[in-house]
Chains A and B, each alone.
Chain A
Amino acid sequence: KAGVTQTPRYLIKTRGQQVTLSCSPISGHRSVSWYQQTPGQGLQFLFEYFSETQRNKGNFPGRFSGRQFSNSRSEMNVSTLELGDSALYLCASSQKTDMNTEAFFGQGTRLTVV
């Protein structure tokens, strides 16, 4: 069974640009969550989608947005990039949204904003 696939693996963007990251969950998983990982802030929750609906959103500005398609694939978009958006962006998928269900992570997309 293929794992969570994130594309691209690496990105370099200029301040003010926008970027779209993609995540393909494990087959059969309908929940997709996004996290931002930085050395200073650690792992922070961005948002979660289940059956094409955003269930919850973390404390990030509106420049960060996402969506989920009918095949459960998800994209996140960051507009008007800032230097501080440089981070590893991780996507995780779960079969369900229960408390006892583990999440499986992709390898991440390393975004560098210059």
Chain B
Amino acid sequence: AQSVAQPEDQVNVAEGNPLTVKCTYSVSGNPYLFWYVQYPNRGLQFLLKYITGDNLVKGSYGFEAEFNKSQTSFHLKKPSALVSDSALYFCAVRDMRKANNLFFGTGTRLTVIP
């Protein structure tokens, strides 16, 4: 069964510090993993995806994610957080049981403190 878990409901980080938002996955077969961000009263914006290849994936707005097969993790990272990064972040996996639709984690609220 396909699933993703985001173990932290809330992450706080000081502006300028590195940030990490955690995601672990469980899939049958190869994982197809995605990160999305949601700002207040807005839809989801695509950040990056892992399909195959390099374990470090670079995405929009300076974000990157590290795929770790042995730990079944796909953590989102950014070297230096901005106040404007404060938002709700979702990890997602393609669900082969549902015609490849996205199965989302519960979300992590990131707050960057000035």
Among residues of A, the one whose C-beta sits closest to the C-beta of B101 is A45
Please tell me if B100 contacts chain A, counting CB pairs below 8 Å: yes
Nearest-neighbour CB distance to chain B for A103, whole angstroms, equals: 6
A108 near B100 with CB under 8 A, answer no
Number of interface residues of B (CB under 8 A): 25
B45 near A48 with CB under 8 A, answer no
Report B63-83 CB contacts with A as 1/0, cut-off 8 Å.
000000000000000000000
A98 near B100 with CB under 8 A, answer yes
- For B96, the chain A residues whose CB sits under 8 A away are 99
- For A103, the chain B residues whose CB sits under 8 A away are 46, 102
Nearest-neighbour CB distance to chain B for A54, whole angstroms, equals: 10
B102 near A45 with CB under 8 A, answer yes
Please tell me if B3 contacts chain A, counting CB pairs below 8 Å: no
Nearest-neighbour CB distance to chain B for A99, whole angstroms, equals: 4
Measured as residues with beta carbon below 8 angstroms from the partner, the interface class of chain A is 20 to 34
- For A42, the chain B residues whose CB sits under 8 A away are 104-107
Our pick among A4, A90, A100 for the contact of B51 (Cβ within 8 Å) is A100
Report B86-114 CB contacts with A as 1/0, cut-off 8 Å.
00001000111011111111110000000
Among residues of A, the one whose C-beta sits closest to the C-beta of B96 is A99
Residues of B at under 8 Å CB distance from A?
Answer: 32, 34, 36, 41-46, 49, 51, 90, 94-96, 98-107
- Chosen A-B contacts, 10 in total, with CB atoms closer than 8 Å, are A43-B90, A56-B99, A56-B101, A90-B44, A98-B100, A102-B34, A104-B46, A105-B44, A108-B43, A110-B41
Query: What 8 pairs across the A-B complex have the smallest Cβ distances?
Result: A105-B43, A56-B99, A43-B104, A105-B44, A100-B51, A99-B32, A107-B43, A55-B99
